A and B are shown apart, each in its own frame.
Chain A
Amino acid sequence: MTPRTTRTTRDTLPPRLAEWLLRHLLPNDRQSDVIRGDLLEEFRRRTSRAWYWREAISTIFQEHRYRNMLTLDNLRQDVRFAWRSYRKAPTFALLVVATLALGIGASTAIFSIVNAVLVRPLPLRDPDRLLWISEANGRGDVISASWMNYGDWRARAHAFEGLAASRGSTFDLTGMGQAHRVTGRLVTWNFFQTLGTEPVLGRAFSQTDERPGAELVAIISHEFWQRQLNGDAGALGRPLTLDGHPHTIVGVLPPGFRYLRSYDVFTALGTIIGEPWLADRGNHQGFVAIGRLRAGVTRDAAATELQQIEADLTRAYPATNTNISVVVEPLAARLVKPIRDTLLVLSGAVGILLLIACINVAGLLIARGAARQHELAVRAALGGRRGRLVIQLLVESTMLSLSGGVLGVGIAAALLRTLIAMAPPGTPRLDEVALDGYALAFAVVAAIACGVFFGLLPAAQASRANGQQLVIRTRAAGASAASHGLRRGLMAVEVALALILLTAAALMMRTLVHVTSVDAGFRPDHVLVANTSIPEAKPDPPRRTAILDDILARMRAVPGVTAAGAGFSLPIDGSNWNSVFWPQDKPLPPTHDGLPSAAMVPITAGYFEALGARLLRGRMLDDRDTAASTPVAVVNEALAARIWPGQDPIGKHLKQGWPEGKGVWREVVGLVADIKFEGLTERTTLQVYFPFAQDPPADFWIVVRTAVDPASLSTALTSTVGAVNRDMPVAGLRTMDDVFGESIARQRIARLVLAVFAGVALTLASIGLFGLVAHSVTERRQEVGVRLALGASRTSIVRTLVAGGVSTAVAGIAAGTACSTVTAKSLESLLFDVKPFDPLTFTAVAAGLLIVAILACAIPAYRASRAGIVGALRTE
């Protein structure tokens, strides 16, 4: 470091804030100058800013204590005085409290969610060392890991203490009253050990549980144990029939355990370990891996090692592994990925709202301070010490903000309930969200900070009052003009902030309009859907078809049902089976990577009719298509355009699976309009539909079109399924409109919150502008009277008065638009078909805000001009 040779400004000027506090908070004016001089002189000798701060604070406090200003008695007196003055001006007090309650309430609610979902560490041992590992295809889409590739990672990687794999699943639980579906995961034996948790009752899985033919075992969650088995201590060893297979319960997990989300049951891989499809390296079967880093190994080192191994695998197995890469992310980050952007946008929005609320309150307090200048001047002239007056003003503002805080907590609780109810299904860690100690602490700190910070500014302003003003009482005099300038500055900032929120809300609204006008390829109204499955110990395709036919026949007989069908997947909800396929009339690509992939959907007759899908060419699938008939398929437009551009797809042939595989060639008999399978905002996938009977899955969605309110047939559907087979669980029973709603929940919640916040911001900004102009009108009433008397026209008076407020608003709008170009970018991941810098949105918002601003300013100005000469002059 070079020695300091010259004195910098930092050395000669003390900390500005400390100096400001000294100037305004010392009880005695004259002594204040002396003390500031003393401290300044010493500071210049010592050049220690820390010293200055320490001495400034100690001096302020000690002086107040000596002057008996910080006594309980005084405080009580201040509180009583404040209470009385608020009762005299209840509108002012209510306005301030309501504004702060909104700001504090909204920010506390959002803070609770952000804290639970993004900030609080996962409830696992050393969660920082856990990595989420999967694979990506050539297009960069994250896909699940291939079991064989995982096996090689586990055998070769040294960076991990443990490397486990698991696969989400649902199980049909039977043999315990009414059959129902439970959530679960198939996991490798070291899964719990890697995550860093162990059963509170019984044992974790062991390596022997994973051998082919091993006894099937399950570990259940604490919640499932309580709910399903009444917390029975003898639960260990009891049988649990999952998907028709008897499992033995060997362990109960600790309460509150969750991995990605909460699951009811975990089973060892014994059920599937010997199956041939697991040994297919090119098949990514839904597994994701979890790695626990060895102590001292960094994430990057682990990722590099896995990438190395993956590269070796590509060389060794080019047919299946070309263009496949490994994806490594911290587990915590992966967990919250779907909701992270939304939450960050909401936090930003709520921060802005709180700021607007505080600015508005500061504006109100300054205006009130200015209005009370006379009172304060009288008190100062009668010997009221300045510090004492400042403290009293601070007590007043803190009282308001604490009341706002208390009310805010109530608002936060209500808002939190609404937001949780609206959250997209599957939002991670939502069950951990609560208005807890942290949130309350946040509210209290926010309230006190608002009170002190925004009480200080007006307190300092108002306390400049001195005896002189008592005598002169010139309204346009120094202090008032200064306070007006300060308020104008604050108002410009407030307008800018409101514009940022309005722009964000407008962008989200346009997004929602675009999303809801997307053509989903079918008619979602009047459709009821439910997922169910046939429990069976061994696959029995003919029985599956028979059971499903029975259910559908009964449903079609229900009054109000116009069509019923079933399929392996449900539109919007996502395809449950994606597979490569190959058209017969095309040459084979050199590697498997070049094969097209499509959603494969076995469907029954009536599926398209119930959905209201549009047939473009050929025919729908119907009763002609049985297990024994010619293998056929219906494809969507996207597939036809990609595989047979410009040609008629009818009569062509394609085959699901690898070209050399045993799949059958299917004849294309129909072409349907694209159906949005993966959600409204996702690109349309290629789709192949074929007869259910020709490859019946045990698990399917029933789709029913109704002439009546679809929800009213829920019971009919459940009881029909139960009547056919009481071991068939019914899950996901809802209307197609609900499915739509859930799929755009992220955008809807962002739109709702932003719209509410923007509305509040707009209201606050209008009130602020109105107040600003009304205040300046009051101050200039005499001037207005004189001008009118001298022959000025009303219009010119109004114009002058409005111009002040509008110029402030224009400055704010300009600044806000500039800021919005930056902030709108953070919305990008939530937008659909709208650019963050959408010129139409930006212009419309700015124009709208300007109109509101002009109105807010014009009303008080117009009223002033109506007061007339006599009225305006009467005040003197």
Chain B
Amino acid sequence: MGKPPYLGEFEQQVLLVILRLGADAYGPEIGRELEARAGRRVSRGALYTTLDRLEDKGLIRWRTVPGTEARDGLPRRLYAVTAAGLAAVKAAHAVVKRLWDGIGARLKDPLK
């Protein structure tokens, strides 16, 4: 396996939320969790295209399950992070971690 693909900020957030939700990761839950944790309004259009893009990159996969009464029986897509997705998140996290190394002390008094 080559170098894991680059992740945009929103892509990263979506992947993390899917991991966090586990078996319950489907559209409305992902949106809600993002809004709660990241504290941002998520346009559903942006969310679906991001999911499409992550799928096209091979970072997530989905399976369809029958819908509930609350959605008039329309099917749900349950998302799960693939191995490649996991690697990409990890790589992104590692980058951030490397960047953070040694920053802690500076944050207390950045001018010194």
Q: Which residues of A contact B (CB under 8 A)?
A: 30-31, 33-42, 44, 55, 57-63, 65-66
Q: Which one of A30, A34, A66 lies within 8 Å of B76 (CB-CB)?
A: A34
Are A41 and B28 also in contact (CB < 8 A) when A34-B77, A36-B74 are?
yes
- Most A CB within 10 A of own CB, among B28, B31, B53, B68: B28
What is the distance, in angstroms, from B11's C-beta to the closest C-beta of chain A? 13
5 additional A-B residue pairs with CB within 8 Å, beyond A38-B76, A41-B68, A62-B46: A37-B67, A37-B72, A44-B70, A62-B48, A66-B53
Category for how many chain B residues contact A: 20 to 34
CA distance A81 to B27 in the complex (A): 37
Do B74 and A59 touch (CB < 8 A)? no
B45 partner residues in chain A, CB cutoff 8 A: 55, 57-63
Q: Which one of A34, A36, A55 lies within 8 Å of B43 (CB-CB)?
A: A55
B67 partner residues in chain A, CB cutoff 8 A: 37
Digitize B60-90: 1 where CB-to-A-CB distance is under 8 Å, 0 elsewhere: 0000100110111011110000000000000
CB-CB nearest in chain B for A37:
B74
Do B48 and A59 touch (CB < 8 A)? yes
- Most A CB within 10 A of own CB, among B27, B52, B71: B71
Do A34 and B44 touch (CB < 8 A)? no
CA distance A65 to B46 in the complex (A): 11
B70 partner residues in chain A, CB cutoff 8 A: 40-41, 44
CA distance A58 to B43 in the complex (A): 7
| Dominant secondary structure of chain A at its interface with chain B | helix
A37 partner residues in chain B, CB cutoff 8 A: 67, 71-72, 74-76
CB-CB nearest in chain B for A52:
B44
B74 partner residues in chain A, CB cutoff 8 A: 33-34, 36-37, 40
CA distance A30 to B76 in the complex (A): 10
| Subset of 8 A-B contacts with CB under 8 Å | A31-B48, A34-B27, A34-B75, A34-B76, A35-B27, A38-B26, A57-B45, A62-B49
Do B75 and A42 touch (CB < 8 A)? no
A62 partner residues in chain B, CB cutoff 8 A: 43, 45-46, 48-49
CB-CB nearest in chain B for A65:
B49
Q: Which residues of B contact A (CB under 8 A)?
A: 26-28, 31, 43-46, 48-49, 52-53, 64, 67-68, 70-72, 74-77
B44 partner residues in chain A, CB cutoff 8 A: 35, 38-39, 42, 55, 58-59
- Most B CB within 10 A of own CB, among A36, A38, A60: A38
Q: Which one of A34, A35, A44 lies within 8 Å of B64 (CB-CB)?
A: A34
What is the distance, in angstroms, from B44's C-beta to the closest C-beta of chain A? 4
B64 partner residues in chain A, CB cutoff 8 A: 30, 34
B68 partner residues in chain A, CB cutoff 8 A: 41
B49 partner residues in chain A, CB cutoff 8 A: 62-63, 65-66
A58 partner residues in chain B, CB cutoff 8 A: 43-46
What is the distance, in angstroms, from A839's C-beta to the closest C-beta of chain B? 53
Do A33 and B75 touch (CB < 8 A)? yes
CA distance A82 to B44 in the complex (A): 33
Do B71 and A40 touch (CB < 8 A)? yes
Do B43 and A38 touch (CB < 8 A)? no
What is the distance, in angstroms, from A69's C-beta to the closest C-beta of chain B? 12
What is the distance, in angstroms, from A490's C-beta to the closest C-beta of chain B? 30
CA distance A63 to B51 in the complex (A): 11
What is the distance, in angstroms, from B89's C-beta to the closest C-beta of chain A? 22
A-B interface, 5 closest residue pairs, ranked by CB to CB distance from nearest? A37-B74, A62-B45, A58-B45, A38-B27, A37-B71
CB-CB nearest in chain A for B70:
A41
CA distance A37 to B28 in the complex (A): 9
CA distance A31 to B45 in the complex (A): 13
What is the distance, in angstroms, from A39's C-beta to the closest C-beta of chain B? 7
CA distance A66 to B48 in the complex (A): 10
What is the distance, in angstroms, from A580's C-beta to the closest C-beta of chain B? 79
What is the distance, in angstroms, from B43's C-beta to the closest C-beta of chain A? 5
